[in-house]
Amino acid sequence: MQCQTGGVRILLKFVIDCDVDAAWRALHSPRAVAELYGPMLAVEPLVADAMPTSWEPGADAPVQLSFAGLVPLGTQLISVSERAASDRNGAVRVFRDSGMPLTGALAGLDVWDHQMAVSPAPGDPTKTLWRDRLVIGGRTAPLLWPVLWATWQWRAARVKALAPTWAHDPAPAAE
């Protein structure tokens, strides 16, 4: 557990078997993100049929979380932004969810900053270097950190397992 401005954070960094464009599309896909947590955790729109096909910057999406789709765990607001950066290996795209838990066990958090960065893997541009950072804060953050850490390990395994299937997703239609 690491502290950062009164919060705790979880950091992951690994290489996945798909190109950066496919990983970037998956980060914007509510369906792909829901698959990362399944079948352990279900992520569904709070309002029936309100889940967008793609999360866009500036969009807010309230979702219902449940254990295995059966036991309600609370609601979460997903608030999307993105930015471009660079490192010694080139371009880095960062997808950020700075929404907040609204109800349930996570509602004791007053900081939720989840950033996922994708860039070409060093030495192999057909693969992606995935960096994932979750910063949480609030009175329950130290208690929730072990559960979220374990969930993020599960998520990392799911990202690695599902990434090869993302390469088959079609590119978004040009507008």
Q: Does some domain include residue 30?
A: yes
Which pLDDT tens digit goes with each residue over 22-79?
A: 999 999 998 898 898 888 888 888 877 777 888 889 888 888 888 888 898 899 999 9
Q: Does some domain include residue 117?
A: yes
Which pLDDT tens digit goes with each residue over 12-30?
A: 999 999 999 999 999 999 8
What pLDDT score does 4 carry? 43
Name the pTM for this structure.
0.86
Q: Does some domain include residue 130?
A: yes
What pLDDT score does 25 carry? 95
d(CA 136, CA 65): 18
Q: Does some domain include residue 13?
A: yes
Q: Tell me the C-alpha to C-alpha distance, in Å, between residue 124 and each of 62, 120, 129.
A: 37, 7, 10
Q: Does some domain include residue 91?
A: yes
For residues 132 and 157, the answer to whether their CB atoms sit within 8 Å is no
Q: At what angle do helices 20-28 and 141-166 cross, to 10 degrees?
A: 130
Q: Does some domain include residue 174?
A: no
Tally of domains in the chain: 1
What pLDDT score does 68 carry? 82
Q: Does some domain include residue 171?
A: no
Contacts of 25 (CB under 8 A, 6+ apart): 32, 166, 169, 171, 172
Say whether pLDDT at 2 is over 70: no
Q: Does some domain include residue 134?
A: yes
For residues 85 and 72, the answer to whether their CB atoms sit within 8 Å is no
Which pLDDT tens digit goes with each residue over 99-116?
A: 999 999 899 999 999 999
- The CATH number of residue 156's host domain is 3.30.530.20
pLDDT band per the 50, 70, 90 thresholds, residue 3? very low
